[in-house]
Chains A and B, each alone.
Chain A
Amino acid sequence: MQGSLHDSLGETAASFQEQFTATFDANFARLYRVLDRLSGEPELADDLAQEAFVRLYRRGSLPDAPAAWLVSVAMNLFRNARASQGRRRRLLTLARAAHAHADASPAPDEAVVAEETRRRVCATLDGMPDRERRLLLLQAEGFSYREIAAGLELHEASIGTLLARARRLFREEYAGGTDDES
């Protein structure tokens, strides 16, 4: 009896680990990218994305909507990290961006244009309200309306409208930055 019980529990554990692995494979990269773009700090994004999955694993079972759960936990972790560090969200510096993207090795003119584009995108995101910025970043990584709504504690019915507003804001801010430069 104990042998069969042990086998059964082992199968349950193995099944959870398979589900966890599938969830990890489907969500880690995009959760990392959202946090990376949100923070401008790849090390912090890596740490927070991993911590969200650590908590999912320690939970022992998958929630009904794992992606929404992960977004919610990751956003809470990001908020807490910012609060505990006592830092304000800030722009990516050119130096950091240049260091992070140094492997591209484009032609000098292309590199200048690329850096300028990155600087403008950072400034655009920085100029947006926090909610719209998160909405935009989550949608850009393919999270569904339902997952975004649950993760950001918004009504699902309002996501479409809010996203349209976020996209419009982004384009206007970006175009404004371009105009300012010219």
Chain B
Amino acid sequence: MMSPDDDTMPDVIALLQTLDHPVPPVTAESVMIRAGAAAPARGRVPPLARWAAAIVLAAGAAGVAYALPGSPVPRWIAALTSRLEARPERQPREAGGAAARARESAGIAVAPGRDLVIVFSASTPGALARVTLGDGAEVVVRSPAGGATFTSDAGRLLIQGPGAPDTVTIEIPRGARRVEIRAGGARVFLKDGASIDTGAARLGDGDFEIPLARPPSQDPR
């Protein structure tokens, strides 16, 4: 007889197999077709590759436009360059170029785990967070205007620098256990299991719109 603490479980597996129904005759190709890919091979290009193609083609087109005889593009570039040079020099921001980093960090996806706290580092008048509950497995945060940077560690996601008129979108899996959003030192949104606790306005489509500036009367928890 097998000990209840045995590492192997052939007896359990054999019992579970009594429940099985035949596996449906589904193929990867049929799933691809269901996913909307009409052509089974070379038909669907991954999104990243499409972006890469668009950038390369745009760069190529710009180069051709610059090189064409009589093209106004070289004059435009010269005018733009001289205008930029005429501006007072701005103080460099962080080493490595925070602005460039912000543009590159316009979105992030993290697994919510058991408990995730999303923190907006500063109370930003005019900026908004739009929170959606979705069916995905990850919390997805996007800054469409590219004005935010993201830092994540275990159970915590820090968002810095969203400024008006940027609206940060946050998609939270419905199945996530606990996700809290804090702005300006106060909790502004909490999903704990199936319950939602927020003072934010609920929009017609079910999303929540959260101002990222804390009202003076709000009591930080």
User: Which residues of A line the B interface, CB within 8 A?
Assistant: 1-2, 5, 9-10, 12-14, 16-17, 20-21, 24-25, 28-29, 32-33, 36-37, 40, 42, 45-46, 49-50, 53-54, 57-58, 60-61, 69, 72-73, 75-77, 79-80, 92, 97, 100-101, 114, 117-118, 121-122, 124, 136-137, 139-140, 150, 153, 164, 167-168, 170-172, 174
Contacts and interface: CB of A to CB of B under 8 A. Distances in A.
A14 B41 contact: yes
A75 B177 CA distance: 13
A114 B11 CA distance: 15
B205 interface: no
Nearest to A54: B35
B68 interface: no
Contacts, number: 140
B86 interface: no
Contact of A1 (B7, B45, B60): B60
Interface residues of B, number: 54
Nearest to A100: B21
Interface SS of chain A: helix
- Top-8 shortest CB links A-B: A60-B46, A24-B28, A21-B28, A42-B21, A57-B35, A72-B137, A168-B4, A10-B42
The secondary-structure label for the interface of chain B is loop
A168 B135 contact: no
Interface in B41-67: 41-50, 52-53, 56-57, 60
B9 to A, nearest CB: 5
B47 A122 contact: no
B8 to A, nearest CB: 9
B175 interface: yes
B52 to A, nearest CB: 8
Given A10-B42, A137-B16, A60 B111 contact: no
Given A13-B44, A167-B6, A92 B32 contact: no
Contacts of B35: 53-54, 57-58
A164 B7 CA distance: 7
15 contacts: A9-B49, A12-B46, A42-B24, A50-B26, A61-B46, A72-B111, A72-B137, A97-B19, A117-B15, A122-B19, A139-B9, A153-B114, A167-B5, A168-B4, A171-B12
Given A58-B36, A101-B21, A174-B15, 9 more contacts: A5-B53, A10-B42, A10-B45, A13-B46, A33-B23, A46-B24, A73-B136, A75-B175, A80-B175
A60 B47 contact: yes
Contact of A16 (B2, B6, B9, B46): B46
Contact of B137 (A28, A57, A58, A69): A69
A122 to B, nearest CB: 7
B46 A46 contact: no
A76 B28 contact: no
Contacts of A80: 135, 174-175
B15 A20 contact: no
A118 B18 contact: yes
A77 B134 CA distance: 11
